[in-house]
């Protein structure tokens, strides 16, 4: 279903961006509505997922200590912060953060890509401590993918739209102070349901 909504583009401020919605059954998740906003003027695009059954618990975590857990599916909505507490890294939702569906391995690959960008940016300075730290992180994440080391993946979503699909995943509500400390990113201002 396609419609035009009267909100400005988050990038170029053009009014009237296109909204596409579709509902689908995502394997093992149940029903989700996928929403995509597109700006015809500058090409800005934003995707998000909303569970049809309403709000899910805000906190999900799974210890990645067996290789089969790398296949666990993950729905990460645009308001979700992803953390790996053992290595003190986290990815927050930014203003243009889109939701995505992946698995644990795909999530770890996103961290590896992001850290790789930092390492390449630091090139030319071999004494850079940040670079050494980043290389150690990359090695650890590679080891997790090979099953040599374990880490915990945490999702923190104040809007309760994210999920790790695995029977050993822990889930609970977010504490108020945890929720207060999180960024939630851009929300699609849906005032009328089609
Ligand atoms: Zn635009």
Q: How far apart are alpha carbons 14 and 5 in whole angstroms? A: 11
Q: What's the confidence (pLDDT) of residue 191?
A: 47
Tell me the CA–centroid distance for residue 42 and ligand 1, in Å. 4
Query: Which parts of 27-77 are beta strand (E)?
Result: 30-38, 45-51, 59-64, 73-76
Q: How many other CB atoms are found less than 10 A from the CB of residue 21? A: 17
User: Does position 80 have pLDDT exceeding 70, yes or no?
Assistant: yes
Q: What domains lie within the chain, and their CATH numbers?
A: 54-180 (2.60.120.1040)
Task: Say what the pTM is.
Answer: 0.84
pLDDT band at 96 (very low <50, low <70, confident <90, very high): low
pLDDT tens string 16-49? 899 999 988 877 667 888 999 999 999 999 999 9
Q: What's the confidence (pLDDT) of residue 184?
A: 76
Tell me the CA–centroid distance for residue 21 and ligand 1, in Å. 19
pLDDT tens string 45-63? 999 998 888 888 999 999 9
Instruction: Find how far residue 48's CA is from the centre of its chain.
Output: 10
Tell me the CA–centroid distance for residue 114 and ligand 1, in Å. 25
| DSSP summary character for residue 58 | S
């Amino acid at each position: 279903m396609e419609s035009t909504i009267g909100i400005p583009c988050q990038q170029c401020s053009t009014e009237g961006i296109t909204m596409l919605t579709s509902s689908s059954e995502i394997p093992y998740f149940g029903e989700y509505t996928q929403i995509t906003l597109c700006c015809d003027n500058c090409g800005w695009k934003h995707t998000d997922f909303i569970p049809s059954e309403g709000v899910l618990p805000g906190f999900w975590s799974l210890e990645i200590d067996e290789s089969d857990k790398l296949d666990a599916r993950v729905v990460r909505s645009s308001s979700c912060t992803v953390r790996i507490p053992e290595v003190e890294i986290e990815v927050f939702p930014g203003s243009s953060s889109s939701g995505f569906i992946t698995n644990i391995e795909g999530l770890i690959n996103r961290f590896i890509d992001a850290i790789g960008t930092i390492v390449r940016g630091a090139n030319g300075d071999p004494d850079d401590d940040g670079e050494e730290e980043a290389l150690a992180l990359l090695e650890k994440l590679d080891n997790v993918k090979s099953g040599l080391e374990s880490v915990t993946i945490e999702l923190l979503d104040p809007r309760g739209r994210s999920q790790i699909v695995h029977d050993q995943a822990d889930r609970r509500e977010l504490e108020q102070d945890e929720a207060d400390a999180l960024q939630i990113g851009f929300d699609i201002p849906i005032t009328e349901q089609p």
